[in-house]
């Protein structure tokens, strides 16, 4: 398993009229966690799209909300890569408020590998699989 933690400070623009973080923002927080995790294992999106010629569109997304977050809260987005992918990638997420042990929200996203040129589904390339396998037993990264 790969685990990565990134910190996000809630901006005023992230909140709604009820003064809670708007629920849709959590998917943006998930995206930040995913991007940071991939970068931390040597697979920044720029390389996946450029050198590998692949896109990773979201084909499924889910979130469960337990408690609200508010303006200026410091959030820790924990992203998990539990399995080596073949044709799809699943990442799991937990969002914690600084100093709290229970998550405010959790969820997952599932992504398909598609070629950038044709948009056709494909399997994970060897370079992607090798980077994931190398990182599976590494210590958690904080960034």
Number of domains the chain contains: 1
Q: What percent of the chain has pLDDT above 70?
A: 95
Whether the CB-CB separation of 129 and 54 falls below 8 Å is answered with no
Please report, for the domain that includes residue 12, its CATH number: 3.10.129.10
**Would you state the pLDDT for residue 139?**
57
> pTM for this one?
0.91
> Dihedral angle at the C-alpha atoms of 116, 37, 6, 60, nearest 10 degrees?
60
Q: Hey, what's the torsion of the CAs at 93, 96, 102, 105, to 10 degrees?
A: -50
Strand partners, 76: 7, 96
Strand segments (E) across the chain: 2-9, 54-55, 58-65, 74-81, 88-97, 105-112, 114-115, 141-142
What integer pLDDT is reported at residue 83 of this predicted model? 87
Domain of residue 56, residue span: 2-142
Q: Mean pLDDT by 10-residue block, N- to C-terminus, for the chain (143 residues)?
A: 96 95 97 97 94 95 97 98 88 97 98 94 91 78 51
């Amino acid at each position: 398993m790969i685990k990565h933690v990134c910190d996000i400070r809630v901006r005023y623009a992230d909140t709604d009229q009820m003064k809670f973080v708007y629920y849709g923002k959590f998917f943006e927080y998930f995206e930040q966690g995913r991007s940071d995790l991939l970068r931390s294992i040597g697979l920044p999106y720029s390389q996946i799209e450029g050198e590998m010629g692949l896109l990773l569109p979201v084909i499924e997304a889910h979130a469960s909300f337990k408690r609200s977050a508010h303006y200026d809260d410091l959030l820790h987005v924990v992203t998990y890569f539990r399995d080596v992918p073949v044709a799809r990638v699943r990442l799991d997420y937990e969002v914690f408020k600084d100093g709290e042990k229970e998550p405010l929200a959790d969820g997952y996203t599932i992504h398909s590998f598609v070629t950038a040129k044709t948009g056709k589904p494909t399997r994970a390339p060897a370079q992607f699989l090798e980077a994931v396998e190398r990182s599976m037993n590494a210590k958690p990264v904080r960034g």
